[in-house]
């Protein structure tokens, strides 16, 4: 597994102490008051798109897997992240589903021997990956190899260009980019739209504050 310095910086901040504060700071405060996309709206997005055969990529603390409503009681759940702390905390939180763990760098090709999934989520992942959005969306290509032909991929990412940003949002985004926690200074809806249109027959993007909520299904093949 290849891990560049930039990729390492993006995930290294998620130590266990930081993860214990994550739900309060990111999901409780930042989403509502800074990014202007309250967490209940993201959870609603999850509930609209999730299946009971699901892979969650970029797991954070496992909050959404813990709070979402799977369509049936028979759940097959897998967790994928580069950060082992996130995997451990998330797996513990959703232990009732007996999740499988995959430690992967999503910017690399993924070669796992596993059955495909009917839904894959990537929440708050792309803005943490290095490079332009048009380049780092290769991560979606890589995980989509694990998606069934009629499956749904969905998630959210914090954009920098072309979205309304308060003074607090501009300042916090600048700090995060300087520290290497974020790498989204050029991320925009147009790049996300172009990519999804070239890969899927159906897709949707909704902008809420600084956040793009997206979903796509029916992969274009051949």
How are the residues of the chain apportioned to helix, strand and coil, as percentages rounded to the nearest 5? 40, 25, 35
Q: In the chain, where are the structural domains located? A: 5-219
The reported pLDDT for the residue numbered 10 is 43
The reported pLDDT for the residue numbered 221 is 80
The sign one gets for the Cα dihedral 194, 198, 200, 201 is: positive
Sheet order of strands, 211-219 included: 100-103, 76-81, 53-57, 117-123, 147-158, 211-219, 200-208
CATH code of the region 5-219: 3.40.50.150
| Global confidence as pTM | 0.93
Which two tokens mark 191? Answer: 């790049």
Average pLDDT per block of 10 residues along the chain, 222 residues long: 49 66 94 98 98 97 97 97 93 98 95 96 95 94 95 98 97 94 96 97 98 96 72
């Amino acid at each position: 597994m290849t891990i560049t310095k930039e990729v390492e910086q993006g995930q290294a901040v998620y130590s266990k102490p930081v993860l214990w504060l994550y739900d309060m700071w990111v999901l409780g405060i930042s989403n509502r008051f800074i990014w202007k996309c309250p967490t209940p709206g993201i959870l609603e997005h999850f509930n609209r798109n999730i299946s009971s055969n699901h892979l969650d990529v970029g797991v954070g603390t496992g909050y959404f897997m813990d709070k979402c409503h799977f369509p049936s009681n028979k759940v097959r759940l897998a967790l994928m992240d580069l950060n082992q702390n996130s995997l451990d905390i998330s797996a513990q939180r959703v232990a009732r589903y007996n999740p499988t763990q995959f430690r992967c760098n999503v910017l690399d090709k993924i070669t796992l021997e596993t059955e495909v999934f009917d839904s894959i989520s990537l929440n708050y992942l792309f803005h943490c990956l290095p490079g332009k959005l048009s380049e780092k969306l290769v991560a979606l290509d890589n995980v989509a190899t694990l998606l069934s032909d009629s499956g749904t991929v969905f998630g959210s990412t914090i954009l920098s260009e072309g979205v309304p940003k308060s003074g607090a949002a501009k300042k916090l985004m600048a700090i995060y980019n300087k520290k290497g926690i974020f790498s989204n200074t050029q991320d925009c809806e147009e790049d996300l739209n172009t990519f999804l249109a070239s890969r899927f027959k159906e897709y949707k993007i909704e902008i809420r504050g600084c956040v793009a909520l997206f979903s796509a299904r029916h992969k274009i093949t051949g």
